[in-house]
Amino acid sequence: MRKRVAAIVTEYRYNSHAEVIVGRMLGEMGYAPRVKVAALYTDQVPDNDTGKETAARFAVPLCPSIADTIVTAHNGGGIDGIVIIGEHGSYPHNGKGQTMYPRRRFLEECLLALDELGLKVPIFCDKHLAYDYDDAQWMYDELKRRGIPFMGGSSIPHVDKLPPVHRGQLRSAKEFLVVSNGDLEGYGFHAMEVLQSLAEQRAGGETGVASVELIGGERGEVWQAMDRGEWPAELLLRAISVYPDQGSAQECRHLDGGRGKRRQFSGEELGQERRHSDDGRGKRRQYPGEELGQERRHSDNEREQVQQYPDVGTVQEQEQVHPIEAGGHAYRRLRESEPDPALFVITYRDGTKGYIIRFRRFSELWGFAIRYGDGEVAAALCDSDLERPFSHFERFTGLIEDFIMTGRPPFPMERTLLTTGVICFGMDALLQGRKLKTPQLHIQYSEDGSRLEGES
């Protein structure tokens, strides 16, 4: 018999996170579910709502409150897990530009309902815990106090990396740079999760974050800081080298509206969450078994073309010259087309540095570069899906189901608390215009979830 889950979502519509996760659990998008959605709650019902029709089609009770959803699932055959998706919907923004999604309220009402029933079941909560770090800490503490298994976070760290990252080398990693896109909070969290999923594997485990800075960059401050040597240009050059749409280091076609121009989705505005449309075009490009430096073949306007990963030279070559010379035409075009990137600067307690650079136009994919202890630099692309059915959510849904079925999360919940904190304090730092020390983020854990020596 399949495990039964209650689904608590902000809204259920075409291409929402609720649809691409809960919809799969219902058997849509060609997915074979291993859990059963026993009851559904939608906090908002927009004009394009599909939750009511979907619930009726699959005979899933659509409930008027969170408590009723959990009780209905329990009374109908038992409840084995809760899936919370507090993403999308019409919610206010605070003064820092963060969307005030009701994730704490959702969890709090779930916990009260479980307490009434005397139950403890695994809980999944999509994306970061909350827009306010005090709320996030409360959520973490309440889950820990009850001994309830928890999984949260982003889908992006779980996609294939092209080329694959050698886990053993991450033990010596000293610097990380992640290329991001979209808005600073919602999409910046994806980048922060990518960064932390790599950084937590360094020797000694995670020791926490000492400080966070976020440079808005509206007047080119990020490029100016790079010119002063305040963040590693060579990591940026290596990271952008793995984006196949860049053609070569001598040509960066899509940055000025050429053939490889980024797709603009209907209704999208800069800085907003993308609402992808499925216009019947081909699905995601498949790159099986590729290694760095190999060619990728993909369809472009119904013609087969071959793109080669660009060669930006060795790290040693890049360090000897200014990035404009090392990166060549691709770098110059990037700087011209992205005059106002934003930059997170994360300093870990053990001296490790992490950077997230947010471009507005460069690419919809996340990529990263890593500097290992011996000075070697490696880079990879996160192979997420830009077209419906967004296959990275298929893998993510499978991980959520594994978690519901076993009660064992695929990574420690401390990762989600830490990445939430970095985003929250980053937005504070941007508002205050200064680097913030973060004693609240002295969060220690190991990748396997075991307690570290000296952890409080």
Domain boundaries, the chain: 3-157+388-410, 158-260+289-382
Provide the percentage of residues in the chain whose pLDDT is more than 70.
80
pLDDT at 400: 98
In 3-state terms the chain splits into helix, strand, coil percentages (rounded to 5) of: 35, 20, 45
Element (H or E) spanning 307, and its range?
Answer: strand 303-308
Confidence (pLDDT) at 321: 53
Q: What is the CATH number of domain 3-157+388-410?
A: 3.40.50.720
Element (H, E) at 405: helix 391-406
Residues composing the chain: 456
- pLDDT bin (cut points 50, 70, 90) of residue 80 is very high
Confidence grade of residue 313 (pLDDT, cut at 50, 70, 90)? very low
Alpha-carbon distance of 209 to 418, in angstroms, equals 8
pLDDT tens for each residue of 266-281: 223 323 333 333 333 3
Residue 369 vs residues 26, 119, 418: alpha-carbon distances, Å: 38, 44, 21
